Chain A
Amino acid sequence: MAEFTEALFSIFFIETLINGLLLGGVLALLSLGLNLVFGVIDVVWICYAEIIMLGMYTIYFLYVDGGMPIYVAAAGGVGVTAVLGWLTHRLVIGYLLDAAPINQLLATGGLLFFFQGAAMVAFGIEFRNLGVSLGSLALSEDIYLSWTRLLSFAIAGGVVVLLFQFLSRSYLGAAIRAISQDREIMTLMGVNTTKLYLLTSAIGGALAGLAAALLALQYDVHPFIGLSFGPITFIVCVMGGLGNMVGGFLAAFVFSELITIGGYFAALEWGYVLAFGFFIAAMFIRPEGLFARKS
């Protein structure tokens, strides 16, 4: 017990807490696009993490092989994933809007295999590293914070604010919010729903590209990297109440803290077990999401 209290107040534990907070920024950014798409189109993109993976490859090739500056490469990645998001809706979801939700989910699962296969064919299975490090910020002799994570945290916060402003203030944003409430009525009012859905999908894709830019700085890219953070991304969204962006943002921090604290006291895998177990239990108590507003 004494050991436990000692561990709890050690400087490393504080570092763990802060790192959890910063990991939360990454998770929040990861879940943003998925949340937007779900909120508006009512479809879960199981292949979302694979779109991020393709974004990471784009950034890798533009930076390492194309010799472009890193921010240009990142912009290229965002562009490619925006197109992928647009195509996902144009070629798959568009045909399934009236199908059972579970069929839509399975169709994007087909895309997951397709993207993995395509990446394997085109890029092989080796791990590729961008070789860029932003270094870390030393708070004291013992505490180091990664600049990449600080940056993700800041960007995630900034994007949430921007997206919120876009949805609540702009004309297009209002249209997107309206369509998420009632698809049939909007058609009757002379709104081109297809156009709005395609726009939303492209924005969702672009947000995946943004997440890809920050992940590419921290992790090696390979065709199956999506499987390592895909499940946690869905769970963050569901937990926040699918489609509820503020809820998703908060849920990201709950999960990141669970993972890092679990990883601090045992192995990192136990952190994940803790997080997923917590998700299952929370679903039983509040199936509509932990932070969902009561309607």
Chain B
Amino acid sequence: MTAIASHRGPTMKLYVVVWIGLILIVGLEVFLTYEHLPAGTLLACLLGLALVEAGLGVMYFMHLKYERPALFWSLIPYLVFALVMMDHFWPDALRLMRQRMPGP
């Protein structure tokens, strides 16, 4: 094994707790889906829960919590920036669609 590979990390017990937590969140998502919430509210709830799941997975299963903070700060803000910019530019694509010249 390489000299810089780290053995620090959560125990199997913590992994199982995270796994149970993720399954409970999936159950909550399905429950909310059938609660007849307005579409916007449901979307916000589902996205929020998905972000919590992603956070748990990245931090514990992927060990980002146990790596040097520099790795987190080099990767995650870049990704968030890229996704925010996509969200910023996609509505522009819809605006251009409406500006399309009518066909002959």
> Are chains A and B native binding partners rather than an unrelated pairing?
no
Chain B interface (Cβ < 8 Å from any Cβ of A): none
